[in-house]
Chain A
Amino acid sequence: VDRDLVERARKGDREAFAVLVHQVSDGLYAVAWRILRDSGLAEDALQNALVLAWRRLPKLRDPERFEAWIHRILVHACYDESQRARSWRAVTVLPIEMPGAPDFSSSIADRDELERAFRHLTIEQRAVFVLHHYLGLPLVEVAELLGIPAGTARSRLHYATAGLRTALTAVAEPLTREGRLA
């Protein structure tokens, strides 16, 4: 992202901000969709995040941090959309250690189960999971981006991974795991 564009937009230049929007929208939408798993909600989250970013841009202290900053706004917009939609269920904390769990290959059944299990994660867990595994951000950067302690980010990722692992294990071992995520 061009620092000069950010500076101009901070000073109220809407044309400069429009250029920035076109540069970052695709990436933001991809993240929002993966967190929310819903096109309509992701579109609303993106739109609200862009408008809020415009409003708050004068507060951004370091233009070099524009991308991390706008991702933070996007994630919070996703939280808002998720809350508004009221269609997600918080997951109960699942056991972490699953000795003897099978190798998770990329079967279609696994993918369906991943989708189903992911929707059972809390929105905060999903955000950390997507930022870490989709954007490839280290956990300390995820924590900084979200404005949370590193330990909290680590914990959210831990429980997200455990939830997914349990779901996939349930598919692989239907007799022993049946009903665990019902």
Chain B
Amino acid sequence: MTDDRSLERAARSWLEEGPTRAPDRTVEHALTRIQTTSQERDLRIPWRYQHMNNSLRLALGAAAVVVAVVVGVTLLPGLTGPDTGASPSPISNPTATPEPSPIVLFREGPLAAGTYITSAIFPVAVEVTVPDGWGALQLASTVTVLEAEEAYLGFWIVQDARRDPCGLGGVGDAPVGPTAADLAAALADAPGFDAPDPVQVTVGGLDAQYVELVGPLAACTESEPEPELWLTADGSCRCMESHVERNRLWIIDLDGTRLVVDVLDGGVTGTSEAALAELQDIIESLQISS
């Protein structure tokens, strides 16, 4: 018998001693808390439609509806206006009106080329001009998404970042500070990503902190492989796919509300020059106000 073996035997025997039944009151307290606790939903970016069939598109649409129900937001009035049919045409047709840049509300589904503004349920007014080939999704009251075949652009109202994107959040993960700079610093420091320090830039006519993240460099765990970058006030998480991508983030402070303009363009895995130029035009078209 070796020393280690006798030690392990003694330790195992010692570990066997102790309670094996959870106190009923503890379990009941937990269940009571759960009655008033909402579940978190991670919003997987519905990007790269060329890899998705139509049924998956429908499933993503359904998932977005589920998210909306979970966060307790009534989306339809803000999204559809008086015309609730399946037609993808916007409320105003940019080619049929005399104004050069008519503004219409975001709607679920494909968008005609034109200038759009976020719906009334979104806390920040973001005006953006898109070419043909883009679609919109209102994933939650705090998340509006534009996407095309090779790119994604999201507008997020962020409450907090995950200091450890592979951590569990809420356990040993202290909240980041309240400013755009705090959020930018936390994202740039996130383990598992490559990121230079944030820089001050201008976007949409406003000062912004710019962070460029490349990652994730590895999956987290088998059960929860995708790292989480941030959380909105209604419990929506920005969840990263497990393959390496380039994420460009502009973080803007609007009287205490932090808007993140989140651009995913596959800069690492390859995006066409045309798509990148199109994205750049869209970013330069942004006009933002609280």
By a beta-carbon cutoff of 8 Å, the part of chain A in contact with chain B is 12, 14, 17-18, 21-22, 25-26, 28-30, 33-34, 39, 43, 46-48, 50-52, 54-62, 65, 68-69, 72-73, 76-77, 79-80, 83, 98, 101, 103-106, 110-111, 114-115, 129-130, 133-134, 144, 147, 161, 164-165, 168
One digit per residue, 1 when the CB lies within 8 angstroms of any chain A CB and 0 when it does not, for chain B 42-54 equals: 1000000000000
One digit per residue, 1 when the CB lies within 8 angstroms of any chain A CB and 0 when it does not, for chain B 18-43 equals: 11111100110111011101111110
Number of A-B contacts (CB under 8 A): 157
**A33 lies within 8 A of B42 (CB):** no
B67 → chain A closest CB, angstroms: 10
Q: A51 and B168 in contact (CB under 8 A), knowing A134-B15, A164-B7?
A: no
**B168 lies within 8 A of A54 (CB):** no
**B34 lies within 8 A of A72 (CB):** no
The SS class assigned to the A binding surface is helix
Q: Which of B143-151, B215-223, B247-255, B260-268 contacts A (4 or more CB under 8 A)?
A: B215-223
B175 → chain A closest CB, angstroms: 14
Q: A161 and B7 in contact (CB under 8 A), knowing A46-B22, A57-B39?
A: yes
**A62 lies within 8 A of B222 (CB):** yes
By a beta-carbon cutoff of 8 Å, the part of chain B in contact with chain A is 1, 3-4, 6-23, 26-27, 29-31, 33-35, 37-42, 70, 166-172, 220-225, 235, 237, 239
Known A-B contacts: A25-B26, A46-B26, A129-B11. Give 5 more (CB < 8 A): A29-B19, A33-B19, A106-B13, A111-B14, A114-B11
A121 → chain B closest CB, angstroms: 11
Residues of chain B within 8 A (CB-CB) of A62 are 222-223
Residues of chain B within 8 A (CB-CB) of A76 are 167-168, 171-172
> Closest residue to B30 on the A side, CB-wise?
A50
A94 → chain B closest CB, angstroms: 13
Residues of chain A within 8 A (CB-CB) of B38 are 55
Residues of chain A within 8 A (CB-CB) of B172 are 76, 79-80, 83
Residues of chain A within 8 A (CB-CB) of B167 are 76
| Contact sample, A vs B, 17 pairs, CB 8 Å cutoff | A25-B27, A43-B23, A46-B22, A46-B27, A46-B30, A47-B26, A52-B168, A56-B40, A60-B224, A72-B223, A73-B171, A98-B3, A104-B3, A104-B9, A105-B6, A106-B9, A129-B11
B262 → chain A closest CB, angstroms: 19
Q: A21 and B31 in contact (CB under 8 A), knowing A60-B224, A76-B171, A104-B7?
A: yes
- The residue that A18 contacts in the complex, of B1, B31, B221, B224, with Cβ under 8 A, is B31
**A55 lies within 8 A of B37 (CB):** yes
- The residue that B223 contacts in the complex, of A25, A68, A115, with Cβ under 8 A, is A68
**B30 lies within 8 A of A47 (CB):** yes
